[in-house]
Chains A and B, each alone.
Chain A
Amino acid sequence: MNANRTQVEELVYDTCMLLDARDFKGFLGHCDQQFEYRLSAYSPEIKREMTWLDHDRAEMEDLFQTLPKHNTDPSPLTRNAVVYKVTVEETGKRASVVSALQVFKTAVNGGVTQLFAIGKYFDTVALDGDAPRLLARHVKLDTRDLGWGHHIPF
């Protein structure tokens, strides 16, 4: 259990570092072939969950391949995750992981760092291989106003 927890924590933290570095290939290297990614936020104005990204693995690959062709804010993001809870299924083959997430943006021009968004990762992790793999990631944002937005998933 402790070994699993350490591996799971390192998986979460590594995905943050890889996305920070825009190393999308490295990020997908941690994802299962059945990987599903979802990013949502709850609107108290309309009392509804809004899904702003909803991709399977193939769609994530397409997204990462097309992003270089777009005009994107070049300011780097820094994802700071703290793994709160790791719940391993009785079979020992899967774990549910809840992590707090803060995303900071450092302006490429001048270097001012601002808090960009907060939320949580709700990850499903496969434990039946040599190393843990992400089966699913649901990013639930508390922040809804993201200014001019961003192209890179959290």
Chain B
Amino acid sequence: MSRTSAQWTQKPKLPPTHYADPVIYSDPDIFGEEKEKIFRKVWHLAVHESEVANPYDYRVYQHPGGTQLVIVRGEDRKIRTFYNICPHRGNLLVYEPAGNAKKLVCIFHQWAFNGKGDCIDIPRGEAGYQERLCKSDVSLKEVRTEVGYGGFVWVNLDDNCGTLAEHIGPALDYMLPELEAEPLETLWYYQAHLNTNFKLIHDTNSEFYHDYLHYYNRVTGMLDPKSGYFQRKYTAFPNGHASVGSMEVKYDAYKGSGRSELGWPQLPHKGWKLVDLFPCITFNLRTSVLRIDSYIPLAPDHVILEFRILGLKSDSAGQRRQREKDAAVIWSPFGRNLHEDLLASSGQGAAMAQGSEPMYVLQAREEDHTIHDEVGMRHYLAEWSRRMGRSASNPLAVPLARAHAA
């Protein structure tokens, strides 16, 4: 029997840890709080070191907390991150997404800065400022930066944050042998603007029950009882991270899969490992390709997804081509799985838009933490609730205005 409005919006008869109030996916004030309490406080994966391989290389990064950053490899080869803003009149310091420059020069008035963030030139400085302001007063704002876990460059806007290792904890230990077997290289970087909430996409990465969405995954895993698919287990780690156990993927069960025998150092043959990091990063290593998802939430209903595909720096041209072919089958913008994942997440965003009277969202499957258990999402929202100071199943119990004041 269909439901009335009161029945539709009634809380499920489940523990409050097993469902989410849909308002967390659409409310602008909650999104504002997420920026302050989560995005500006945690470590984010900004770029890979191969994208700033040489001295004076730089890459820009739009931080999820709302600040434009520029990541620079200095003359001393150290990678540093700065606010991408000229301290003079607040213009963007760097406009190009990537480049190489011995000094960063603002186009507006030609103020110049070196790779350590020092101001090294102010045109007609003494004539205009006399003794009142000197170059050392106007250096760039540096941002906490660490490189690790496969050569990724991580940043944190909070000057007083803990270390990256404290944030990651043991969550990536499971994948470290593969991540650090050889230097990696970014083969693809692309973005996708989507009208949905960032958590809905991360939810999709945090549960495998949605393999029913993917014909490709059904035939290469679920339909083969010997694949180990249903034995894969979730492991929850502190700070909201989780990993999923490996399996042997049966690529030859999909006609035209194109998956090669290339493999990945240390990864079991045709293996598949996945780690989700709070609040919006996924490491997904599947046979021969490492895919990294990271998000730049712009609004409660608008997110930029960043996709990276990585291979090995030592790859020959032929190996690189094969790795790209392997990635393309499921993960390019034309790939079988990515399009399906993003359709589903966007559909959720449309159906649960603010004011649409959506129901509570179920995250209640319990299967001894195996592959169709929804413990990954529950673990994520437990950390979200802790950081936000409000329960994901009853977020408005703490008034938003009071939360802002606090």
Contacts and interface: CB of A to CB of B under 8 A. Distances in A.
A145 B193 contact: yes
Interface stretch (B16-24, B174-182, B332-340): B332-340
Given A59-B256, A149-B338, A54 B189 contact: no
B180 to A, nearest CB: 21
A35 B81 CA distance: 47
B309 to A, nearest CB: 8
Interface string A43-66: 111111011111100110111011
Contacts of A69: 215
Interface string B237-265: 00000000000000000111010000000
Contacts of B194: 147-148
A147 B193 contact: yes
B38 interface: no
Interface in B312-361: 321, 324-325, 328, 332-336, 338-340, 342-344, 346
Contacts, number: 110
A150 interface: yes
B186 interface: yes
Interface in A17-58: 39, 41, 43-48, 50-55, 58
Contacts of A153: 334
Interface in A119-154: 144-151, 153
Most buried by B among A50, A59, A70: A50
A17 to B, nearest CB: 20
B94 to A, nearest CB: 13
A59 B254 CA distance: 12
A91 interface: no
Contacts of A73: 339, 343
B258 A70 contact: no
Contacts of B161: none
Interface residues of A, number: 35
Given A51-B328, A53-B328, A65-B255, A147 B186 contact: no
B342 A149 contact: yes
Contacts of A61: 256
A72 B213 CA distance: 11
Nearest to A58: B256
B333 A149 contact: yes
Contact of A45 (B97, B193, B258, B334): B97
A47 B258 CA distance: 26
Most buried by A among B98, B214, B309: B98
Contacts of B214: 70
Nearest to B60: A45
Interface in B149-203: 186-194
B137 interface: no
B131 interface: no
Nearest to A51: B324
A50 B187 contact: yes
B76 interface: no
Most buried by B among A41, A55, A61, A148: A148
B373 interface: no
A73 B347 CA distance: 11
A52 B334 contact: yes
B186 to A, nearest CB: 5
B59 interface: yes
B90 to A, nearest CB: 24
B397 to A, nearest CB: 34
Interface string B41-56: 0000000001100000
A72 B335 CA distance: 11
Contacts of B188: 43, 46, 48, 50, 52
Contacts of A55: 258
A71 interface: yes
A49 to B, nearest CB: 10
B98 A148 contact: no
Nearest to A59: B256
11 contacts: A43-B189, A48-B186, A48-B187, A52-B335, A66-B256, A69-B215, A70-B340, A71-B343, A146-B333, A149-B332, A149-B342
Given A44-B96, A46-B51, A61-B256, 17 more contacts: A43-B188, A43-B190, A45-B51, A45-B97, A48-B188, A51-B321, A51-B324, A52-B188, A53-B328, A59-B256, A66-B215, A66-B254, A70-B339, A71-B213, A148-B192, A149-B332, A149-B333
